[in-house]
Structures are given as structure tokens and as C-alpha cells.
Amino acid sequence: MAAFEGITLALSKGRIFEETLPLLAAAGITPSDDPEKSRKLIIGTNRPDVRLVIVRATDTPTYVQYGAADLGIAGKDVLIEHGGDGLYQPLDLDIARCRMCVAVQKGFDYAAAARRGARIRVATKYIQTAREHFAAKGMYVDLIKLYGSMELAPLVGLADAIVDLVSSGGTLRANDLVEVEEIFSISSRLIVNQAALKLKHALLQPVIEAFAGAVK
């Protein structure tokens, strides 16, 4: 493993990368490549002491937890599933906003099923979140783990309900689904490796402060 003396920031492609660019700019950091165009997974910046690593959104907390990245940006959805071990979460960046919801096919009487104490099948990528939500409501559910396209599950009889992220609701509407419960609202957080925060304090603190200033 090549040693890198500077700081490594883990980001996912897509909305998190896009919405992080203004925060990076506030910290005087400009990426040298666009991850949508380049196939590089390690991207340099205008600062020799700062580099970016491009990871799958779900993997961001893992890179930071093990110190492979000193800091990263991850959605609350991803952080709850990960559990947050070894991570310091100093800032809500108020980017990539959406909400975690329960949705069902139009016509499925979710409220009645909940009242009856019916056992329902729920498909989701967010097993931990779903388990806690239905346990708190005292509902019996069978959870089915999926990795994407959750909206399909109720349409083909795989599940009665899904737990998924919603922003505009366009995907739900296009697939004849309705939102029946909001579980929590979501934004992305800055996460920092706890050991790095001490060992690389002089490098990390100004970046954290610049991000904090840009959020306000």
C-alpha cells in the first residue's frame, strides 16, 4: 500500500460528488478529473496534499472506518445501515436531500394490514432501517433484501411494501406506487476517521471548518 501523507476524501459519483463540488471550492480544493468522464478511482486535486477516492455510496463509511480514507461524505440512509462504528460525524452538509419511506402499490390497504396485525412482506435495500421501523410499530414483517429497483417488487408480487428513498416521488408515481409512511428525512453528512482526526488534525480541521462555513 502506497503511503499518502496528505488527506484522502471518499466520495461517491453522481449527486454526492456534484453537490460536494461547491463545498470543496470553499475549502480551496478543485478536483483534477471528473469521475463521470474519467475511469480513475483516485483523483488528484489542485492541492498536492488532498486527493479523492471514488467509491460506491454504500462503501463510503467502510473506507473511512478503516482509515483508507480520512474523511468522506455519506447519506444518513447509508450511515444508519453501516452503524457508524469508528466514525466521527461533525457536520450535516444539507446536500442530497430525500426521505426514507414505506410505499405500497395503489390499492393495497397498508393501514388496514397494520391494524389487523397482518404479516406483510417488505422488500428493501435498507434491512436495518426497515427492521427498526416495523419493530417500533409492533408490525410483523418478512424482510426481503434487494440491491436496486425496489419499486418493481410490489408490482410482480415479490412484496406487499417497500422501504426506499424518495425525493420527488416521480419513480413511485410512474410505477403505480404510493407513499404511506415517512420514516425519516435524509441528507448527507461529513464523516471523519476518529484516529485521523487526531493524527492529521492540522490538515483536517481547516477543511472541516471550510465545509461548515459553506453549509451556513
Give me the residues that bind ligand ATP (CB under 6 A), please. 12, 14-16, 57-58, 75, 77-78, 96-98, 148, 165, 167, 186, 188
Report, in Å, the least distance between residue 5 CB and ligand ATP.
30
Reference 135, options 108, 105, 163; nearest CA is: 163
CB nearer ligand ATP, residue 97 or residue 131: 97
Report, in Å, the least distance between residue 200 CB and ligand ATP.
26
CB nearer ligand ATP, residue 14 or residue 206: 14
Give the angle subtended at the CA of 87 by the CAs of 129 and 68, to the nearest 5°.
110
CB nearer ligand ATP, residue 12 or residue 105: 12
The DSSP bridge partners found for residue 141 are: 120
Report, in Å, the least distance between residue 76 CB and ligand ATP.
7
**Using CB atoms, what's the residue nearest to ligand ATP?**
75
Torsion of CA 78, 147, 172, 170, to 10 degrees: 70
Report, in Å, the least distance between residue 129 CB and ligand ATP.
12
CB nearer ligand ATP, residue 71 or residue 96: 96
Own/partner contacts of 59-68, CB < 8 Å, gap of 24 or more, are 59/10, 60/10, 60/11, 60/12, 60/191, 61/87, 61/191, 63/10, 64/10, 64/191, 64/192, 64/193, 65/193, 67/193, 67/195, 67/196, 68/8, 68/10
CB nearer ligand ATP, residue 98 or residue 183: 98
Report, in Å, the least distance between residue 119 CB and ligand ATP.
28
Reference 56, options 14, 118, 117; nearest CA is: 14
CB nearer ligand ATP, residue 96 or residue 120: 96
List of residues 6+ apart from 42 with CB closer than 8 A: 51, 52, 53, 54
Report, in Å, the least distance between residue 214 CB and ligand ATP.
18
Cell 480551496 belongs to: 28
Q: Helix axis angle, 15-26 relative to 201-215, nearest 10°?
A: 110
